[in-house]
Amino acid sequence: MSILNVKKTVGALVAGMLLSTNSFAAISPEVNELLTKKLQSLKVEVDSIDESPVKGLYEIVSQGAIYYISEDGQFLLNGDIYDLDNGMNNLTSAKVDEVRKANSAEHFAKIKDFEKDMIIYKADDEKHVITVFSDTSCAYCQKLHSQMQEYNDLGITVRYLAFPRGGVNSNAYHTMVSVWCSEDRKGAMDDAKKRRNIEPVTCDNTVKEQYDLGVALGITGTPTIFLEDGTAMPGYLPPERLLQVLEQKK
């Protein structure tokens, strides 16, 4: 067993020993106020604070991520909680999935607000439409883009939104602003995906808002593909495999 696996197992055992079968009171208004103020002072955006499966810790949902905090606000934990009595069930992962599904239902409709800002590679014989949150510096995004003609030939229209993985202060963000501000967006996107230098330009743009929407949808990596029904598919899929998935969704 590797050192990493040992650490994971020990971490799971510790979390399992902390799990309490006794329920305890929901978070009080006083504790909620204390923790909210503490987190806001640290510039943490808090979506909700609730009791966690571990007695003495509270669960924070922040922009689709899950954290745990002590009742006095001194200790913040970032990690998974496993239930050893129920098949090593990853309670944190289950909660993240729950949050993302709720966020997707709420935020997926907002993708339509960005249709005028999308960079679209339209299939001549369009059968399916996908929306891809992409980063010009991402290797698998570049691989997907290199096969654009194959996707289009299969009837798949690809619509791009920006998701610079490093955030709004990253080089990729500034590159993507230049792409979206270029007179020839598709040409600039083609060049950027081939790692060619493009002319730095700025304008009024929605790259940050596109990124923020991706965060709200729970995106953590690129490419992330959204189907027309709102299904999210993280990662690259080759053209034929993607077509199979799309056809199964009919």
Q: Hey, which residues are catalytic here?
A: 135, 138, 141, 165
Buried b (16+ CB within 10 A) or exposed e, 107-134: bbeebeebeebbbebebeeeebbbbbbb
Nearest 5°: phi and psi at 9?
Answer: -65, -45
Least Cα distance to 180 among 153, 151, 200, 156 occurs for 200
Residue whose structure tokens are 């230098």: 197
Burial (CB count <10 Å: 0-12, 13-18, 19+), residue 198: middle
Residues 35, 37, 39, 45, Cα dihedral to 10°? 110
Contacts of 85 (CB under 8 A, 6+ apart): 16, 19
